[in-house]
Amino acid sequence: MSSRPHSPPNKPPRGPRKLQAFWARVTEGLQIQELWGQFKSEAREGYQLYSKDVDWEAVQKERSKFKRVLRSIWAMFQAMLMKLTPARRVLLLVALFLLVFHPEFKSGRDTVDLDFVVFSAIILFILLALELADRVTMKRDLEIAREIQQWLVPSGPPDVPGTDIAFATRPQNTVAGDYYDAFLRPAQPNATAAPDLLVVVADVAGKSVPAALLMATFQSGLRALSSTPASLEDIVTGLDRYARAHSLEGRRFTTAFLAEIDPATREMHYTNCGHNDPILRRASGAIERLATGGPPLGLPLFTDHEIVYPAASVQLQRGDLLFIFTDGVVEAVNESGEEFGEPRLLSSIESTATENASVVLSRVMSDVNSFVGYARQHDDITALVLRVTA
């Protein structure tokens, strides 16, 4: 019986294989529809950025529609131009001049024919390279800041018998102004009871680096105050005092929800500082909103007395679910400008109400992702889920 050599499967030629590999690397595996959706989202975001610097009232004063269009284009161009450094503005104007007017130089009887389109293309390429270099440098610095910020939040929940905790955050930029934490307060000398579990979710007004820096100071202040015998009300008063000293006259205030849970009795003592009211879903299916508290931390004082933050207590039972979130969850916007909203959030929680904390959290984050689609994220999204298991 004769044996035939095994023929290798048909492979595309080497050239097309390299082209396919290059295309996959450029697109990061995204399909054309996904790339188009991403482009539309980025284009919309870019338009919003530049249009903020346009005096649209002056544009609308033009009576002629044609003049309004021309003036709009000119105003948008100036807004884009002024985002560059002075040297790069001049280079861009030179490149556009050479591209549009094609100047010629004459030497005696002969005309020196130079293709200035090539020169303008070279200048535009240099400008692109310079802008990309700035972007890469900034991105590298932000990645370092993100690593530092990740050190300030827990990598995993504390081991507390009878509780199941999960948390997640998604920054609007590389770094976030949202903060979450769950930790056991340090045991005090001569204390006989087990240390309380402190749970907190906070949201600094603003985004990116300024908000992230204030978030870091909030974390350090919270940890320092929690290591003392101070009550929850005293901790909040201290945080408000510190936030007010660094709030830039109230422009950088912080909303927060703080709760202290006794691991033995499951009694929860909490205060809400201008934050979204957390959702407490009882094992019976009843929904409670935890609103007791005061205004955001760091607001200016108009009297000589500090703001009083009242606290409330609730008794947690087996099967209860506590969902704490920042406004980025319910205010997530899709491409039509519609917000995710609390009704959808409640529906997501209800659909997994009997599951563990991780499943509930994953369902909510997945539903937010599906709702938003390709729309660009406008705020940090953070949520903490606590389920009582015993």
Position 106 in a domain: yes
Same domain, 130 and 22: yes
Q: How many domains does the chain have?
A: 2
Co-location of 88 and 177 in the same domain: no
Question: Is residue 1 assigned to a domain?
Answer: no
What pLDDT does 269 receive? 96
My answer on whether 91 and 212 are in the same domain is no
The pTM assigned to this predicted structure is 0.74
In the prediction, which pLDDT does 6 show?
55
Structural domain includes residue 45: yes
The residue from 126, 146, 166 where one domain ends is 146
The pLDDT, as a whole number, for residue 97 is 87
pLDDT for the residue 236: 94
Structure tokens at 268: 């929860």
Q: Which of 266, 252, 240 shows the shortest CA–CA distance to 207? A: 252
- Dihedral (Cα; 326, 329, 331, 335), 10-degree rounding: 150
Strand partners, 373: none
Distance of alpha carbon 384 from alpha carbon 358, whole angstroms: 10
| CATH number of the domain where residue 259 is located | 3.60.40.10
* pLDDT value of position 288: 96
Domain span at 68: 14-146
Statement to judge: residues 24 and 131 lie in one domain: yes
State whether 194 and 210 are in the same domain.
Answer: yes
Q: In this structure, are 135 and 216 located in the same domain?
A: no
Is 6 contained in some domain? Answer: no
Specify if 3 maps to a domain: no
**What type of residue is 100?**
V
Residue 63's pLDDT is what?
A: 83
**Do both 174 and 53 map to the same domain?**
no
Do 162 and 139 reside in the same domain of the chain?
A: no
DSSP 60-79: HT-SSHHHHHHHHHHHHHHH
Distance CA 282, CA 279 (A): 10
Per-residue pLDDT of the chain (390 residues; tens, 9 = 90+): 455 555 555 666 777 778 888 888 888 777 888 778 778 777 877 888 888 888 888 888 888 888 888 888 898 889 888 989 999 999 999 888 888 877 665 555 555 556 678 888 889 999 999 888 888 887 787 777 777 767 778 888 999 999 999 999 888 776 777 889 999 998 777 666 778 999 999 998 877 677 777 888 888 899 999 999 899 999 999 999 888 877 666 567 899 999 999 999 999 999 999 999 999 999 999 999 999 999 999 888 766 678 889 999 999 999 999 999 999 999 999 888 899 999 999 999 999 888 999 999 999 999 999 998 877 778 889 999 999 998
Residue 8 covered by a domain: no
Tell me what pLDDT residue 103 has.
66
Contacts of 17 (CB under 8 A, 6+ apart): 11
Of 111, 146, 181, the one marking the end of a domain is 146
- The pLDDT value recorded for residue 111 is 56
Choosing from 85, 116, 146, the residue where a domain stops is: 146
pLDDT at 247: 66
Looking at the structure, do residues 183 and 323 belong to the same domain, yes or no? yes
- SS3 for 156? coil
Do 200 and 54 reside in the same domain of the chain?
no
The C-alpha atoms of residue 159 and residue 197 are separated, in whole angstroms, by 10
Same structural domain for residues 136 and 254? Answer: no
In a shared domain, residues 50 and 100: yes
Is 7 part of a structural domain of the chain? no
